[in-house]
Structure 1
Amino acid sequence: MLSYGFWNNKGGTGKTSLCFQSICFYAHQHPEERILVIDVCPQANLSELLLGGLANGGSDRLLARQGAVPRATIGGYFQQRLPSPYQPPAIEPLDYITTPCEYNDEIPENVDLICGDPLLELQANAISTLANNNIPGTDSWIAIIDWIKDLLQPLSGKYDVAFIDCNPSFSIYTQIALSTVDRMVLPVMADDSSRRAIQNAFSLVYGLKLPSDIYATYAFATRLRNANRTLPKVHMIVKNRLTQYMGKASAYAAVLRSIDRDIEKLMDSNPEIFTFEALNDGIVDVRDFQTTGVVAFAKGTPLYSLKTGKRDVMGQRVTVHEDYKANCVEHMNDLVGQL
């Protein structure tokens, strides 16, 4: 099973929005494949979208899954692991899986979901403590890092592709998620904080440009490599929310060009961390979805099936323009074509 992780250490880059649309577009274009979505984010916004969106009952449906027995979320699975952190207990993975199309008929039938859960934040300290225990004969950190892999192992052969939405942090549960991922999709915005965030992301995941060798000993990459684990590879940099009027001379374009130069330098110095050899093969531009996106996300609807014209969104009348929607769909097709 090939796995994609949508992540950036910086919030507000449109990560979850892009992940939602990518899942729907990919599943729609590949109906013969089975897709598993894992929402490893305490906000659980991706889960809410897949279950119907804020205006279509997604929040209430998510709360119901979080209140199920056993708790049908990634937090529910972690809760079962806490008493047995270093050896996988007898767990039925299907207890934690939801089929979104049973709640939201806009979602393709070949998508399954492990819902996100705010419980992750409460669990983080306990999980970190367990990961740092010194136990003779046991690499406690690796045992914890493998939690999602342990959950997926009994599902081998059931799914073709996994999409993992990661929290904009480098908390222990984010590390658990990223250690499971084969390929990373990194969204960026046209601002200088996104440039710094990309630099930070490479430092956190790959241990590049750390201020001291002391940090390198405990770095995510070092610990995975020491345990003969593979690191995720960067598969795509998504320049998200580009405006319709952004010309070559704009300040936004200058920032994005500087991000290109940073990536090119890293491709020269560390080509092994990328799946692409030419910059243009790994960069995708996505325009700002604007009102079209607001309506799509409020209703938990993929852009390709969104109805145009006057729409009611939580008591407000808004207009979805056909030409703008078509442009958004074209951009998402470009992105999904790279997966």
Structure 2
Amino acid sequence: MPVISAHCFANHRGGVGKTTLAYQVSSAYAAAHPGRKVLVIDTTDSGDLSEMLMGGIYEKRGREMLRSLIPVANVTQMFLRALVASTSTSLSDVLKAEEYEDGVLTSVVQKMPLAKGAVESSPLEKAKVMKRIDLEEFGIPLKQVNSRMPSNMFLCPSGLDIEHSISFSATQRQDIIAVLLDSFQNAEGEWKVFIDTDTELYGENGAYANIGFGIADFICLPLHADMSDWYGAKVLINDMQLLHDMDVSHAQVHLVLWNGLNVQFKQSCGVTVGGISKCTFIPTKAEQDIIQTLDNLVYQEAQIMPNLFLHYNGAKTTAEEFSAKCSTCMRNFGVVGVASKDIGVPIACIKPGIFHGVHMDYNLSIDTIKHCRENLEEIVKAIDQVDEKNNPRKICRQHLEFLKARRMERKLGIKLKLKHKSPLTTVKKRRRHSASSASKDTTSVMYKTYALRNRYSLRERSKQMKAKLFIDNFESSSISTA
């Protein structure tokens, strides 16, 4: 069964609660759906989300656990594996052309870790299986790392501050996105994906955020109820529209989360969406006025970019209907939220009692935990509604088909260029030249990919791959390390 959908938490501004909400919402979703596997992909530079999920800040449990498990699986390895998998079609052709006769590429493939379902004796079969990746191969079971997490949660942690990040080119990003979307379509079991991204889409580590947007179906946009945050969000919305225009992303804005609000009354605000309360509390009057103004500004952006917002259905959608579905209020989690990040236990799993943190002890009551959980359950219900009523996989398939078509166009363009350069050469020579150049390009990518994998993998794998197999081709590789 394919991945149900992928939600990405994004904002150009830091400190708006993007990582915190990704941590709490993904955990609440996993607790509410024990029969589904939940994969959290951390593409950020700092790895704060990974640290929270792996044990929290207390005694640096999360950070130490992250450092010890980075060699096992991380987002850089996932992207590199997807990049190599994207070459598997031409890789198979090259292997056929070489007929397994002591070819360099054949020897490289033979030394690669065996993919699930591959036939060990055949490098060609191994190349075929590599067209997709196994989600569990790069997902660390969080229950085995942090016993207080739901048993159905998996984490692909960030390794950017420990490993060297890679500035993937635009075409490489497209190939990685295509392989990951294809893997989502053919995943075994029922999966839900949550993604945390950095504040920048461009720059040194912007490629990771670009890939995060590319594989996401929906965007959750956390904001504080003030105009300065809105100006930053407006820039992000314009950048997202640009990604849509470039066919890099198919993600739509699902929820605008007004985060960190103060509670005036602990009761429903009276606004319902499909029979579900819009929020379980009433914010202060000043915040209500600001949110109403900001909701109107979001509605105006939806009118300008209608395809970017999920709940905008043209002129028939009024501002009130749009904001009722798109806008959601998030309370300030207060001491419960601070304790949750400190001790590494999400609100969905935390229990009343006294907990020891880094600098203080936390005394959490039943009522404070209950109110925070109710707020998170609203988001989970909204996610369930959009997964049931919409068909995110249909849009994902369309995006995947487009990426495959674009890749085919690039291949045809390369062949036409070669043909134009040597119009008088025989067909036999052209085929030989095409095969050798494909072999060179493919092996250069694989050399560097598995040189990096060798550098940061487990000791047993390092012993097998520590020869100078890949080092000489670093300069000619199409991937550049930051």
TM class by smaller structure: 0.7 to 0.9
Deviation at 1:15, TM superposition (A): 0.9
Q: Using the alignment, how far apart are the partners of 1:304 and 1:320 within structure 2?
A: 13
Deviation at 1:36, TM superposition (A): 1.3
Q: Using the alignment, how far apart are the partners of 2:23 and 2:197 within structure 1?
A: 12
Do the aligned partners of residues 63 and 154 (structure 1) sit closer, same or farther apart at CA in structure 2, a change above 3 Å counting?
Answer: farther
2:188 partner SS: coil
Amino acid at match of 1:96: F
Amino acid at match of 2:220: V
Select 1:41's aligned residue among 29, 35, 44.
44
Q: Using the alignment, how far apart are the partners of 2:163 and 2:323 within structure 1?
A: 36
Mean alpha-carbon deviation: is it higher for 310-319 or for 236-245? Answer: 310-319
Q: Using the alignment, how far apart are the partners of 1:161 and 1:282 within structure 2?
A: 21
Partner residue in 2 for 1:18: 21
The 8 Å contact of residues 148 and 176 in structure 1, kept in 2 or not, is answered as no
The 8 Å contact of residues 54 and 66 in structure 2, kept in 1 or not, is answered as yes
Partner residue in 1 for 2:219: 184
Amino acid at match of 2:187: S
Match status 1:222 vs 2:245? yes
Partner residue in 1 for 2:458: none
Match status 1:304 vs 2:304? no
1:31 partner SS: coil
Q: Using the alignment, how far apart are the partners of 1:34 and 1:294 within structure 2?
A: 27
Partner residue in 2 for 1:213: none
Q: Using the alignment, how far apart are the partners of 2:32 and 2:20 within structure 1?
A: 18
Partner residue in 1 for 2:326: 282
CA RMSD of aligned residues (A): 2.5
Q: State which structure, 1 or 2, has the greater radius of gyration over its C-alpha atoms.
A: 2
1:226-305 → structure 2 map (5 Å cutoff): 231-245=250-264, 247-248=284-285, 250=286, 252-277=287-312, 278-305=322-349
Do the aligned partners of residues 140 and 303 (structure 1) sit closer, same or farther apart at CA in structure 2, a change above 3 Å counting?
Answer: closer
Q: Using the alignment, how far apart are the partners of 2:207 and 2:222 within structure 1?
A: 21
Deviation at 1:30, TM superposition (A): 1.0
The 8 Å contact of residues 287 and 331 in structure 1, kept in 2 or not, is answered as yes
Deviations 1:42-98 (A, max 9, x none): 2111111111112262211111111x2xx410023345567x596257486444220
Q: Using the alignment, how far apart are the partners of 2:179 and 2:161 within structure 1?
A: 16
Mean alpha-carbon deviation: is it higher for 114-123 or for 37-46? Answer: 114-123
1:1-339 → structure 2 map (5 Å cutoff): 1=3, 2-55=5-58, 57-66=61-70, 68=71, 71-80=72-81, 84=84, 87=87, 90=130, 93=134, 94-119=136-161, 122-124=164-166, 126-127=167-168, 130-131=169-170, 139=171, 142-146=174-178, 148-149=180-181, 152-153=183-184, 156-170=187-201, 171-207=206-242, 220-224=243-247, 231-245=250-264, 247-248=284-285, 250=286, 252-277=287-312, 278-339=322-383
**When the two structures are superposed, what TM-score results if normalisation uses the length of structure 1?**
0.81
Q: Using the alignment, how far apart are the partners of 1:14 and 1:299 within structure 2?
A: 18
**When the two structures are superposed, what TM-score results if normalisation uses the length of structure 2?**
0.59
Q: Using the alignment, how far apart are the partners of 1:200 and 1:50 within structure 2?
A: 30
Deviation at 1:110, TM superposition (A): 1.2
Deviation at 1:122, TM superposition (A): 4.1
Amino acid at match of 2:68: A
Amino acid at match of 2:244: A
- Identity of matched residues, %: 22
The 8 Å contact of residues 8 and 197 in structure 2, kept in 1 or not, is answered as yes
2:348 partner SS: helix
Tell me how many residue pairs correspond in the alignment: 306
The 8 Å contact of residues 75 and 119 in structure 1, kept in 2 or not, is answered as no
Deviations 1:139-194 (A, max 9, x none): 555225546436x3586233421111111211121011101000111100122221
More helix by share: 2
Deviation at 1:231, TM superposition (A): 1.6
Deviations 1:209-248 (A, max 9, x none): xxxxxxxxxxx22221xxxx65201110111100124522
The 8 Å contact of residues 233 and 274 in structure 1, kept in 2 or not, is answered as yes
Q: Using the alignment, how far apart are the partners of 2:80 and 2:172 within structure 1?
A: 17
2:229 partner SS: helix
Q: Using the alignment, how far apart are the partners of 2:180 and 2:196 within structure 1?
A: 13
Deviation at 1:21, TM superposition (A): 1.1
Q: Using the alignment, how far apart are the partners of 2:227 and 2:159 within structure 1?
A: 31
* Structure 1 gaps, min length 5: 132-138, 208-219
Q: Using the alignment, how far apart are the partners of 2:29 and 2:197 within structure 1?
A: 19
Deviation at 1:35, TM superposition (A): 1.3
Q: Using the alignment, how far apart are the partners of 1:121 and 1:178 within structure 2?
A: 22
Q: Using the alignment, how far apart are the partners of 1:103 and 1:32 within structure 2?
A: 20
2:200 partner SS: coil
4+ residue runs of structure 1 moved beyond 3 angstroms? 78-82, 88-95, 119-122, 144-150, 152-155, 252-255
Mean alpha-carbon deviation: is it higher for 159-168 or for 305-314? Answer: 305-314
1:338 partner SS: helix
Q: Using the alignment, how far apart are the partners of 1:271 and 1:201 within structure 2?
A: 15
The 8 Å contact of residues 33 and 161 in structure 1, kept in 2 or not, is answered as yes
1:36 partner SS: strand
Q: Using the alignment, how far apart are the partners of 1:156 and 1:243 within structure 2?
A: 41
Q: Using the alignment, how far apart are the partners of 1:284 and 1:256 within structure 2?
A: 10
Q: Using the alignment, how far apart are the partners of 2:238 and 2:163 within structure 1?
A: 23
Deviation at 1:41, TM superposition (A): 1.0
The 8 Å contact of residues 41 and 120 in structure 1, kept in 2 or not, is answered as no
2:263 partner SS: coil
Q: Using the alignment, how far apart are the partners of 1:147 and 1:175 within structure 2?
A: 15
2:165 partner SS: helix
